[in-house]
Amino acid sequence: MPQIKNLNIDSITHLETPKQFTERLPLTPQMTDTVAKGRQAIEDVVTGKDDRLLLITGPCSIHDTKAGLEYAGRLAKLADEVKDNVLLVMRVYFEKPRTTVGWKGLINDPHLNGTFDVAHGLTTAREFLLNVLDLGLPTATEWLDPITPQYLADAVCWGAIGARTVESQTHRQLASGLSMPIGFKNGTGGSLQIAVDAMVAAREPHVFLSVEDDGLVSIVKTNGNEGGHVVLRGGSSGPNYDPTAVSRAASLLKSAGFEPHIVIDCSHANSGKDHRRQPVVFRDIISQITSGTRDIAGIMLESHLNAGAQKANGDPSKLEYGVSITDACIDWDTTAGLVRDAASALQSRTPVNT
């Protein structure tokens, strides 16, 4: 008989169940408290209950955990300094969607050499999240693979559905069941309607197939996620952080029955993929907020210890320390200056009554 199964499969390797994995790498009570409080604080900002600015900042992707933790240590100190006006959350991205091919992130290829040791990547990612939480910092990541949350979601405070997956029914269903606020990015072409549609879909209950804690394929029924919000990141049609674009986004959200509490990404198409323009975008957004708009709830930055980007070459020992291997980032000193300037500028705002 002809072979008709797994014709294009090279191998299948079993993983620990999510339960075994999380029991091996558990959250401490203090980490659990950081997650719970971080999620609530973020939700309060993106629903307008908290007038602080949500600021999600960190490397485009984590590829060197030592450099990443040095960044986290600096960010934790800065977070405490500005906590009255800015809610700092660390960007901790382990999965990178690719337009075609390329390095898919720390989980997929943790050794950066094409060996694809996914089991080690998952462990490294969770250990990193636990270390960040241990500093008292809330964590943010993008959800790409629909199984990954079973291994990591309990250690994440904010999640994103990216521009390449925001139209995916699988990811909208996933978002409806996640236990955290979710930001939906506009599409790569610039369409905001698909992000609003994703919010509408994720707000509703869904039934779909997934994996439960014991590793069994199961039917999952969700309640829907009320913590959805849009993230403006520009697109092939151009940037969308200016007042006209923000007003248009607010109107679209209101038409769909949402209060407009928008997060704006300073990188990607909003900066023309030029990291040196991120501060320009950032200051424009802060100016809009201090001028009176209540439609902007947060900002995202791609930031690392050192500026720019470098190409992964298969030999991590030859990489420059603290420099991104995916999108180019602004450096720490620039980041800290922007955060402090924003906190100072926002002090004069009239607080929201909670």
Domain at 42, CATH number: 3.20.20.70
- Among 34-38, 276-280, 309-313, 329-333, name the one with the lowest average pLDDT: 309-313
Q: Classify residue 174: in a domain, yes or no.
A: yes
* Residue 256, C-beta contacts closer than 8 angstroms, at least 6 positions apart: 196, 199, 200
Per-residue pLDDT at 127: 98
Q: Classify residue 12: in a domain, yes or no.
A: no
* Residue 329, C-beta contacts closer than 8 angstroms, at least 6 positions apart: 59, 60, 275, 302, 303, 304, 307, 308, 309, 323
Q: Classify residue 344: in a domain, yes or no.
A: no
Residue 99: band (very low, low, confident or very high) from pLDDT cuts 50, 70, 90 = confident
DSSP helix/strand/coil, 334: helix
Question: What is the arithmetic mean of pLDDT over 89-114?
Answer: 91
Answer yes or no: is pLDDT of 101 > 80. Answer: no
Per-residue pLDDT at 96: 86
Q: Classify residue 346: in a domain, yes or no.
A: no
Question: What is the arithmetic mean of pLDDT over 302-311?
Answer: 97
Nearest to 185 by CA among 282, 264, 242: 264
Q: Classify residue 289: in a domain, yes or no.
A: yes
- DSSP for residue 99: S
Per-residue pLDDT at 351: 52
Residue 354: band (very low, low, confident or very high) from pLDDT cuts 50, 70, 90 = very low
Answer yes or no: is pLDDT of 181 > 90. Answer: yes
User: Which residues, in sequence order, are bridge partners of residue 87?
Assistant: 54
Stated pTM of the model: 0.96
Answer yes or no: is pLDDT of 45 > 80. Answer: yes
Q: What is the CA radius of gyration of the chain?
A: 20
* Residue 62, C-beta contacts closer than 8 angstroms, at least 6 positions apart: 68, 92, 93, 94, 106, 125, 128
Which structure tokens are listed for 308? Answer: 């720019």
Q: Classify residue 55: in a domain, yes or no.
A: yes
Per-residue pLDDT at 314: 83
CA 80 – CA 60 distance, rounded (Å): 23
Q: Determine what percent of the chain is predicted with pLDDT higher than 90.
A: 94
Q: Determine what percent of the chain is predicted with pLDDT higher than 70.
A: 98
One DSSP character per residue, 150-169 reads: HHHGGG-SEEEE-TTTTT-H
Q: How many CB atoms sit inside 10 A of residue 233's CB? A: 28
DSSP helix/strand/coil, 353: coil
Residues 144 and 95: beta-carbon distance below 8 Å: yes
CA 84 – CA 81 distance, rounded (Å): 8
Q: How many domains does the chain have?
A: 1
Question: Which H/E stretch holds residue 231?
Answer: strand 228-232
pLDDT digits (tens, 9 = 90+) for 133-167: 999 999 999 999 999 999 999 999 999 999 999 99
pLDDT digits (tens, 9 = 90+) for 48-87: 999 999 999 999 999 999 999 999 999 999 999 999 999 9
CA 152 – CA 341 distance, rounded (Å): 33
Answer yes or no: is pLDDT of 353 > 90. Answer: no
Question: What is the arithmetic mean of pLDDT over 255-266?
Answer: 97
Per-residue pLDDT at 350: 52
- Please give the C-alpha separations between residue 257 and each of 87, 197, 226, 243, in angstroms, as whole numbers: 26, 11, 12, 21
Per-residue pLDDT at 100: 75
Q: Classify residue 348: in a domain, yes or no.
A: no
Expressed as residue numbers, the domain containing 118 is: 18-326
Mean pLDDT value across the chain: 96
Residues 279 and 244: beta-carbon distance below 8 Å: no
Q: Classify residue 145: in a domain, yes or no.
A: yes
